[in-house]
Amino acid sequence: AQTVTQSQPEMSVQEAETVTLSCTYDTSESDYYLFWYKQPPSRQMILVIRQEAYKQQNATENRFSVNFQKAAKSFSLKISDSQLGDAAMYFCAYNDMRFGAGTRLTVKP
């Protein structure tokens, strides 16, 4: 079974600084997709970024980027120039079925 582990239940970052959220997963498949979703307080979960396993280049979306290490089965999310609006729960997901427990990110002004 594919499992997704987010080892940081909570993280904190100063506004304008950079923070990295960790995610590891377990799989025997060679082709798959990985996602990071953001769930702001009392708001709907939305997609932040997506990575296809066969692509070696790390995905980037504005201030959000990933460090995808396929051999290590690691998929971390880096948020640069953190903003107050980045405060949320962040979920890592494997394909469209397996999610981690989430990391609660606090952004300090």
Partner 1 sequence: ETGVTQTPRHLVMGMTNKKSLKCEQHLGHNAMYWYKQSAKKPLELMFVYSLEERVENNSVPSRFSPECPNSSHLFLHLHTLQPEDSALYLCASSQGWRVVPYEQYFGPGTRLTVT
Nearer to partner 1, 93 or 107 (CB): 93
Contact between 23 and 92 (Cβ < 8 Å): yes
- We find the least distance from the C-beta atom of residue 16 to partner 1, in angstroms, to be 28
Tell me which residue of 73, 89, 84 sits closest to 107, measured CA to CA.
84
Phi, psi of 8 (to 5 degrees): -110, 100
- We find the least distance from the C-beta atom of residue 33 to partner 1, in angstroms, to be 4
Q: Which residues bind partner 1 (CB under 8 A)?
A: 4, 9, 32-33, 35, 37, 39, 43-47, 50, 91, 93, 95-102
- We find the least distance from the C-beta atom of residue 67 to partner 1, in angstroms, to be 20
Please state the length of the chain: 109
